[in-house]
Chain A
Amino acid sequence: MPGLYFITSEFLEDAKSAARDGGMPGIRVLALPADQYYRARASKEELQSIASTCFGPMIDALTRPLTAAEEKPSPIPMQREDGNIQVIGKDFLEAFEKANELFLANRWADGLPVVPPTPELVNAMLAGTTRSPRDVIGQAAPKNGTATVEKIAVNAVMAGAKPEYFPVILAAMEGFTDKRYDLTHVQASTGSFTPVVVVDGPIAQELGFNSGIGMLGHGWRPNSTVGRALRLSLLNIGQTWPQVNDMALTGRLESYTFFTFAEDTARSPWEPYHVSLGYKLEDSTVTVATSGNPQIFGGGAVAPWTGQGVIDQVVIRARNAGVVWPHSQTYILVLHPDCAVDLAKKGYTRKSLQEYLYEQSRVPYEKLAGPVFFGHDSVIDFVRLSIADGRIRPERAQIFLDALKPGGRVPVVQSPADFHIIVAGGSPGYDLLFSYPGTNWANQTKRISGATLTTAGR
């Protein structure tokens, strides 16, 4: 069927890249001027000038005979990525600098200096796991790059990770490449989402992850370099680059290391998060998730707070003025230990807190938002469609059907378990809410295994 795609000029390279990724390099694409289109698109009248300008090229693209290459494109060759590179300098400093220039020029680095991944360093990294270098952990979106253990090790070296961290990195990559994790959206979306990486179990303490004051910041090598190893692995194995096919408009809040931290199981009043998911206490796990801009609650060191006050603010935020996406919404609520203890003293368990948040955040039918997005008349229409196409799980569908009528109260997530509760932070501390209205299940938890250099994670 002959066709044509309109995109905006800032996305021309992205469109061509996606067409090639899909095996259709001959797709005809016309670019609208981004600096005019986005301001004019609010009305048909304002778009008249742009539409007039592109009308002729549109007719041409639909009627001009195909070239031979468009009609029958050549097979796309396999681009080998297995050769080592020799970098020569008069001394180590010059060779180091040249290696870094080469990596950045090739779009293999993040802009900060990287550790040159020599075979010796990569082999040392590989010694941190029992896995074979050739094992495939998964395929990384958006280009479907093959994430072998060896390729992840190369990126882990570049990030400055220690070999004993490597099993954590592998497990996280297993999560990121799980088909149920929406990696394409996270890697490419204009929405500028940031991955969240949470380590649980005894390996967190053994490796020295920070879960206290400054847990999202710098200064702790496990937090910083595990996160950076994942940043570089996704960049290089999924093959993304800003302004090419990573179109995060602002970049990400934690672009270099993601939001990487550990749960403070020692100061939590509840069982560790991974145990609440069914893992054994002695297991170590890593959870990968996605977040838009996190929100902060509580008073920190400057204002009074109560645990109840914090969670009631979370409830208001989760209601989101009636704009809800219950089929795919997930939340990660990170309570600082004092807040968790305060809530536990009030009688909350993690499970009862999840149920409280689920029940209290339900939005009255009459307060669901009207026409807000994606051509749907209302959230009501949106939720009904999600039930009909099975994205709201069949066993939960009746709850939503019962709520979609006057007097009903519609849940903002599918089930209480979609409020994930983790304990971490300082004393005093703030409480964080990571949220993601994704297009797929966002959170993946994987057991860390195959460790050779730590007692945990074997």
Chain B
Amino acid sequence: MQLEVMNPRGEIPPPATLGMGPRVSDLSAKRLVLVDNGKFGANNFLEALAEMLKEKYPKTTVVMYPKPAAQTITNLPKWYPTVKQQGDLFVFGVGD
């Protein structure tokens, strides 16, 4: 007995790929942007990291930059480029 069956999956138009930005050799004299994604507790986690950064990398400037919640902003894609204006590299969290 042979059953021929059809594939139920939709085809996905492949997205154009983007490479990552080059890394820095060290954090000295750099501005590191800590982006709080607004999820409960993310601010606490990033603040804990900020304290450690200030202690271990005193020449690094740490910038806290909260993301507006999706519920309160019309166009997040327009907001993301503003992260770049805040510093040289970023850490984003905490996603779930």
Query: Which chain A residues have a beta carbon within 8 Å of chain B's beta carbons?
Result: 1-8, 10-11, 15, 21-28, 32, 34, 37-38, 40-44, 46-48, 50-52, 55, 58-59, 62-66, 70-92, 94-96, 99, 103, 108, 116-119, 122, 140, 143-148, 151, 154-155, 158, 190, 232-233, 236-239, 247, 325, 327-328, 373-376, 382, 385-386, 389-391, 437, 439
Contacts and interface: CB of A to CB of B under 8 A. Distances in A.
Question: Which 5 pairs show the lowest CB-CB distances between chains A and B?
Answer: A41-B41, A145-B10, A6-B93, A237-B10, A374-B69
Contacts of B52: 51-52, 55
11 contacts: A1-B90, A5-B93, A24-B18, A46-B44, A51-B49, A51-B52, A59-B27, A71-B19, A84-B6, A87-B2, A375-B69
A85 B7 contact: yes
A44 B7 contact: no
A237 B95 CA distance: 25
Interface string B36-65: 101011111101110110001000000000
B44 A75 contact: no
Contacts of B68: 385
Interface size class of B (residues with CB under 8 A): 35 or more
Nearest to B44: A44
Nearest to A80: B11
B4 A118 contact: yes
Interface string B54-96: 0010000000001011111110000000011000111111111
User: Which of A6, A118, A119 has most B Cβ within 10 Å?
Assistant: A6
A243 to B, nearest CB: 13
Contact of A146 (B10, B36, B91, B93): B10
B86 to A, nearest CB: 10
Contact of B88 (A1, A42, A158): A1
User: Which of B2, B11, B84 has most A Cβ within 10 Å?
Assistant: B11
A65 B9 CA distance: 38
Nearest to A55: B52
Contacts of A232: 8
Contact of B41 (A42, A85, A95): A42
A2 B23 contact: yes
Given A26-B19, A71-B22, 4 more contacts: A38-B41, A42-B41, A55-B49, A75-B17
Given A66-B22, A85-B4, A1 B9 contact: no
A40 B44 CA distance: 10
Contacts of B91: 3-6, 58, 62
Contacts of A148: 10
Nearest to B83: A1
Contact of B13 (A27, A62, A78, A95): A78
